[in-house]
Amino acid sequence: MTLRANTDAPARIGFFLFLLVTVTACGGLVMVVEVLGSRLIGPFFGVSLYVWTALISVTLIALALGYGLGGLAADRWPGPGLLYGVILVAGLFVLAVPLLRTPILALSIPMGLRGGAFVSALILFGPPLALMGAVSPIAVRLAVRESQKLGRMVGGLYALSTLGSVAGTVATGFFLIGTLGVSGIFTLTGLILIGLAGLYFLLFRRFWPALALGLIPLLPLSPAPVNSGIMPDGTRIQRLAHAESHYGQVTVLEFSHGAQRTRELLIDGQIQGGIDPANGQSIYEYAYALQHLPVALHPEAKSMLVIGLGAGIVPAWHAKRGLRVDIVDIDANVVRLAGEHFGFATTGRVFVEDARAYLQQTAERYDLILLDVFNGDTTPGHVLSREALALARSRLNPGGMLMVNLIGSLVDRPYGAASVSRTMQTVFERVGLYPVFDPQGADASGNIIMVAYDGPERPVPADLLANAPIHPMADSVRRVFGRRFVFPAGQPADILTDDFNPIDVRDAWLKERIRRAILEGIDWRVL
């Protein structure tokens, strides 16, 4: 394979090898940007199907545009200077992503979950991805001299680009996110692109001012983190901790207004639990439901499995009253921060792994299993399918009970809650729904505790929480909890399976509304 003659080109073999490295690296960095996109906008729009749809669509649109324009530009300006100029500009765009994140998201948030995710992804990632898409056609134009070798050359270059994409995806998803963090990886990606361009101009064009590109690492490439803020009502927000892993961004925020302080754990911007640090009590109603409902329905229980730790408030409460409580959570950062900032401790073991994988491999049996899993604002579908629920049932002792904490609606478009309930009814003899809100209220949505067991009906005392110690911020749970809800006959619902589970799509409207409420109540710059 030979290169087109060019009076400005250096030795053909050296440049050709450098070109191969360039194509491979750019193919990998395309996937780095795409994978990181979900982590950058996830705290604001969630890590849902809509966010991934927006990111994939933007990536494909940008690459298609880059392929087309890159081919036109390569024919008009045939030369390596075009290629490495494009790569240089792409690197500058990537470096700008962390700096532009805040103003672009501020612009996009009012557009809603779907519109905001698409527009923010398009503005932030569209330009650099389009420029990197132009690399392959320009590289082909540089590498091909004789038309009979076109197929072999094009195939080889696209194969290298694809192999680079595989390497970029694996490196980002398996290693870099948990090591460098999102802003650090964007900075590294931008510097690699700029470094490729600088090396070309320095080594092959002897353009010594390219050494000035080496000064870029000395610049403030990422914005300083915002660790505190003040809301319009005077509430001060302090970010106590922040950690990124392969599974999400975990943040601990503390709010103070006068003498009142509260502390909350968020995963990808979604609240997973909160306490009053003065006494450790939960400030959210659902925690009290999950504490007292098992006591009422299965008072003789001795062991409990909690799948999804959150802030650890509920399992710690049950452990203190004498149960052996095992924990399964996929994110080690959640376990660590729950212990450091929310006083989490347990009498059992902690397993850092996927919930369904644990249920598949364990031989343990429990009196109670609590499924309280949220990936941001979404309960992963693979733990709500009929197959997953049947697996959980097989890990219960005789007379055992499964509880599921779900965010859903009971009146307005109740597809999610109704489908989960119907699916549970295919596995258990008894299924009860206990909303932690007034189902007759104007907004009949929120936390719904679903309980499932075999055998005779187990009544819930009407005054279940009458004498329970409850934080004043959550005291409304005394009035609304304990009444069992039954869907009317003919309520549309599906049986969720591993093969058919559209709950994430059908309940997107509710997730969008909840996330909008959170962003309105939090200075989102600290996320």
Q: What is the pLDDT of residue 320?
A: 95
Q: Is the model more confident about 431 or about 440?
A: 431
Domains of the chain by range and CATH? Answer: 12-218 (1.20.1250.20), 283-507 (3.40.50.150)
459: DSSP letter: -
**44 CA to centre of own chain:** 10
Q: Quote the tokens at residue 389.
A: 């629920």
Instruction: Report whether pLDDT(45) > 90.
Output: no
Query: What long-range pairs does 107-115 form, CB within 8 A, spacing at least 24?
Result: 108/44, 109/44, 109/516, 109/519, 109/524, 112/512, 112/516, 113/45, 113/46, 113/48, 113/50, 113/51, 113/508, 113/511, 113/512, 113/515, 114/50, 114/54, 114/508, 114/512
Render pLDDT for 318-361 as a digit per residue (tens, 0 to 9): 999 999 999 999 999 999 999 999 999 999 999 999 999 999 99
Instruction: Report whether pLDDT(14) > 50.
Output: yes
Rounded Cα gap, residues 524 and 513, in angstroms: 16
Which amino acid is located at 434 in the chain? Y
Contact call for residues 162 and 20 (beta carbons, < 8 A): no
Instruction: Report whether pLDDT(377) > 80.
Output: no
Q: What is the pLDDT of residue 171?
A: 81
Rounded Cα gap, residues 420 and 450, in angstroms: 9
Render pLDDT for 125-179 as a digit per residue (tens, 0 to 9): 999 999 999 999 999 888 875 445 667 777 887 788 888 888 888 887 677 776 7
Spatial CA neighbour of 407 closest among 512, 278, 527? 512
Instruction: Report whether pLDDT(4) > 70.
Output: no
Q: Quote the tokens at residue 149.
A: 């070798």
Q: Is the model more confident about 233 or about 367?
A: 367
